[in-house]
Chain A
Amino acid sequence: MSRLVVSNMSINRAELPVVTAVDLVAESGAISVVLGANGAGKTTLLEGLSGIIPVAGGTIAIDGRELQKARPGARSREGLAHVEQGRTVFRQLTTEENLRVSLHPGADIAEAYALFPELVQRRAVKASLLSGGEQQMLVIARALLTRPKVLLIDEMSAGLAPVIVTRLMTAVRKLADGGLAVVLVEQFAALALSIGNRAYVMRRGRAVYDGDCAKLRQSPDELHRLYLGGAESAVPA
């Protein structure tokens, strides 16, 4: 059982606060969904967690080990995997080579192909020539082979057909059911809430909701209010 605990985290970009005093928890077997309008600070939050950008304050801990001062590579070796937005495949490498780069000594490439059998036939194809959906599958499978405890996924549905998005969501749910702690940043709110356990809604860098996914899914009006404003009091005291 692994647990990511983020406390009072603040992140600045160009000295302007983008994420302010955010608390977040992700646990093995569960998906923590992070929602919010464009510019709410969701991607910055994930980039701060994985170490792409430094945090201005607060702590990040996996199973009690604090990581906020570690470099991205060290955080990865501690079990934090980050699937960035924009499908960051290694373009000049084949599908299989992409997978081999991340292959942890205790992992097997067959696990990646078991999760996404679509990639088997594309194993010798350069990643730049894969479709958008295949590239997204590849970056998720690649992250899986680092043997992570916590998987951060940023906007995996961007620019993809709904049928592919549903396919990816199913795979992510499967990963969580297998014991991973997942933090999923997503624009497709309804779909993300349908597979998630715990939801966070961010607005202007702050978490304005921290609660159950099912509850939020049943209250589209509340979700709408959280996105657009006037609901700061929704955060439990």
Chain B
Amino acid sequence: MNALLTSAVAGLTAGGTYALLGVCAVFTYRLVAVVNFTGAAIGTAGTFVLIALFEAGFPIWPSVLAGIAAGTLTGVAIGYIMTRWFGEASASTKAAVTVALLVGLIAVGLRLTGGQHPHNMPDLFPGSAFRLAGVEVTIASVLTIGLAVLFTILSDLFLNRTKIGLNLRALADRPMAAELLGVRVQLLSLLVWGMTGAFTTFALMIIAPQRSPNFMTLSLLVVPALAAALIGVFRSFWWTLAGGIALGIVEGLASSIDSVSQYRSAIPFLVVLAVLLWSQREARWDEAR
């Protein structure tokens, strides 16, 4: 029993990261109507700037800030491509473009970071925060979940209480109508891309030491993130948050069971499949009638 609890708690850091990446995916989808497959890759780019600076002997916290700035700029650059050239494209075209950009980012990222070459990733928050039923809960777990909750609360407040948030909601509903009213559509879209880039980068910096820190592995964290977003039907921040954390815990539990441990990376895929089948159930009934 204690082993199971230990495994579940071990999954919390990953869960917090999936939740934050998922909430960022929902934020991007709701506000600029893009299912963004590059979300984790943007954060990975910033994380590798941190790694490069750290390995070159720079002090850690200025390197973290430089990494977050790099992630923000990468997000803005991707956002510029999406708003400048694909602003009026359909949702499926935009999603396909982000898949192509993901492939490009991974290719360039692997080339620049030396492929599978191991890197010295600094552990930003080592140690235990507290004990839960005899199990150590790491500072990284508390921090990623805290960051995910913070981003969710801030998103809600920002969208519902500020003029920029109001303009973003209008932009998400009818981009052209918003632009015709003088709303600075491109600037606001880039703000969304920049904000999600910054948060994603920080989350990946926290989780990177626990993963194989190569560009491909970190970039593909977008899969569980999109699974979490799907649990929130790409609308609800809170369901996405819960879905991401649950996904991490299930992954943690799976790693403690020998027979399923080697298949645990398929869990997000199974979740995506299950949610899609569940969401289609009424359509199937309708068809049957």
Binding site for B on A (CB under 8 A): 50, 52, 71-73, 76-77, 81-82, 84, 88, 90-93, 97-98, 100-102, 104, 142-143, 146
Contacts and interface: CB of A to CB of B under 8 A. Distances in A.
Contacts of B169: 90, 92-93, 97
Contacts, number: 60
Contact of A72 (B163, B167, B180): B180
Contact of B180 (A50, A91, A97, A98): A50
Given A88-B174, A92-B169, A101 B179 contact: no
B181 interface: yes
Given A71-B179, A76-B179, A84-B176, 9 more contacts: A76-B180, A84-B180, A88-B174, A88-B177, A90-B174, A91-B174, A93-B173, A100-B163, A146-B182
14 contacts: A72-B179, A77-B182, A88-B174, A88-B177, A92-B169, A93-B166, A100-B166, A101-B167, A101-B178, A101-B181, A102-B182, A104-B182, A142-B181, A146-B182
Name, among B173, B181, B182, the residue most crowded by chain A CB atoms within 10 Å (CB to CB): B181
A52 B176 contact: yes
Contact of B179 (A73, A93, A98, A142): A73
Given A101-B181, A101-B183, A102-B182, A72 B176 contact: yes
A73 B178 CA distance: 8
A97 B182 CA distance: 15
B185 interface: yes
Given A100-B166, A101-B166, A101-B167, A73 B173 contact: no
B182 A76 contact: yes
B111 interface: no
Contacts of A143: 181
A97 B167 CA distance: 9
A93 B170 contact: yes
B50 to A, nearest CB: 36
B184 interface: yes
A67 to B, nearest CB: 13
A73 B183 contact: yes
Most buried by A among B166, B170, B182: B182
A84 B180 CA distance: 9
Interface string B178-200: 11111111000000000000000
The 4 closest A-B pairs by CB, nearest first: A76-B182, A102-B181, A88-B177, A90-B173
Contacts of B185: 73
Nearest to A145: B181
A74 to B, nearest CB: 9
Contacts of A90: 169-170, 173-174, 177-178
A185 to B, nearest CB: 15
Interface string B86-121: 000000000000000000000000000000000000
Nearest to A76: B182
A146 B163 contact: no
A142 B167 CA distance: 13
Nearest to B182: A76
Contact of B166 (A52, A97, A142): A97
Interface string B146-172: 000000000000000001001101100
Contacts of B167: 101
Contacts of A92: 169, 173
A82 B170 contact: no
Contacts of A77: 182
A123 B237 CA distance: 27
Contact of B182 (A73, A88, A98): A73
